[in-house]
Amino acid sequence: MRPKHFQVSLVWLAGFAAAAHACDTWVALRDATADRSVILAKNSDRPPMEAQPLVQVSRGKHQLGATVKCTYITIPQAAETYEHIGSKIWWAFGYEHGMNEHGVAIGNEAVWSKEPYQWGDGLLGMDLVRLGLERGKTAYEAMHVMVELLVKYGQSGDCERDGEWGKANYHNSFLIADPTEAWVLETAGRYWVAKRITHGVYSISNIYSIEKDWDEAHPGLVEHAVEMGWTKSAQTFNFSRDYGDYWRKDSKDPGNMQIRRNMSLACLRKDFAQVTPASMMKISRSHLEGTLVEPRWGASESFWSTPCLHDSARNGYHSAASIVAHLRAGMPALLRQVYWASFSNPCSNVFKPFYLNGPKIPANYGAGTSTYSGDSPWWLANRVKLLCDLNHNALAPAIRGVFDLTERSAMERQNRLEAEARKLIEAGREAEAVKRLQEFIDGNCARADKEY
């Protein structure tokens, strides 16, 4: 009888028969985590020389009639927008992933549907991520903010900078979490379907995941599919099968994407009831080590698409930024959510913790374009990745020897600091707690910059 690891490896091998780029977002609900929190994570795959800095935007109140310029269109501004942190494509309005002051975290994925594609006169999926964070106090509220904007303005536009890379136009799926639940929102043009997740684990990649079991949907979702001839009747309707276009040239390899989703789910289920931010980071760094598709010469020379994706002759994208959002109900607002962020490929970089409702990200963390800059932490991190890729097998262990120690140190100090901060908050000394957290953030960032 074959050992279990051999059986799993054969499954992975079958799904990675063609290289393709993909993002992945995954979540563990309260019954799946070690501390009864909700933890959402994502790797964002983008063109290799496109900076994805980290920005923090303060809460704001806006006058009636105010507008906001998104990437391609201008829309009415909300009366109030919430403080948030986002992983921002440097040239765009929106984010690949982010988290707000109320503990809402969102990540999105490119998906390809049979619905027609527009160009230049709608919202990008990245815009919708940011708008959901700015306007939603809960995962459900953020989901409906995004749905209403989607239906009104549509989703369209080049998702890659004109003249700098290729052209990309796709529809989007989203994983939206808060400290108590998560929602999966999948879209095709202006049509949408949503599923509530209250327990267990869930993952999305560049392939639709919702079949027949949804909780809310566009009122014309099923009727439209029948009219278009994508399904015979309401009884046979299956959203993923009927709306997904798995034969387009630019839809990549759907089998590859399904295997990536299955793999992150398998990792989460393996650690069920014991999932932590550290185990989420481990998933984000995976190159399928220990399987039959483990890279032969190093992560940068893989024949397959892996969760921690490296650009190569076979694939033009890489993991440009990662998030682990730790969302904890029952905590003071200052401590309720922690944003662990890594720049560039997470395997050769370090996750750093950030807080909202008082503390601030260092201003230079928002710097970076498509040109190297020594004052941009994103570019410092990406330079480490580029150097490591020259001989990944030889250099990666040395890099991890530094950054693993840094992460463990931050987590150990985090536990002590949060206990102290909670006592300060309970004693009415929140300003002092904010100061302590700010010193913690600044110290972690200074240490990482020095290590870079």
Active site residues: 23
Strand partners, 26: 41, 203
SS3 422: helix
452 in Cβ contact with 403 (< 8 Å): no
Name every residue whose Cβ is closer than 8 Å to that of residue 327 and which is 6 or more positions away in sequence. 37, 38, 39, 40, 99, 103, 105, 177, 178, 179, 336, 337
User: Alpha-carbon torsion 342, 319, 274, 2, what sign?
Assistant: negative
Q: Write the DSSP assignment of 64-124 as a string of letters.
A: TT-EEE-SS-EEEPPSEE--EEEEE-TTSSSEEEEEETTS-EEEEEEE-BSS--B-SSSB-
CA dist., res. 382 & res. 200, Å (int): 34
- Alpha-carbon span 149 to 83, nearest angstrom: 20
Q: Please give the DSSP secondary-structure letter assigned to residue 282.
A: H
Strands (E), 359-432: none
Q: What pairs with residue 185 in β-bridges? A: 174, 194
CA distances for 351 relative to 323, 343, 444, angstroms:
8, 8, 10
Beta bridge partners of 67: 76
User: How many C-beta atoms lie closer than 10 Å to residue 305's C-beta?
Assistant: 28
| Strands across the sheet containing 24-28 | 201-204, 24-28, 38-46, 318-327, 337-343, 352-354
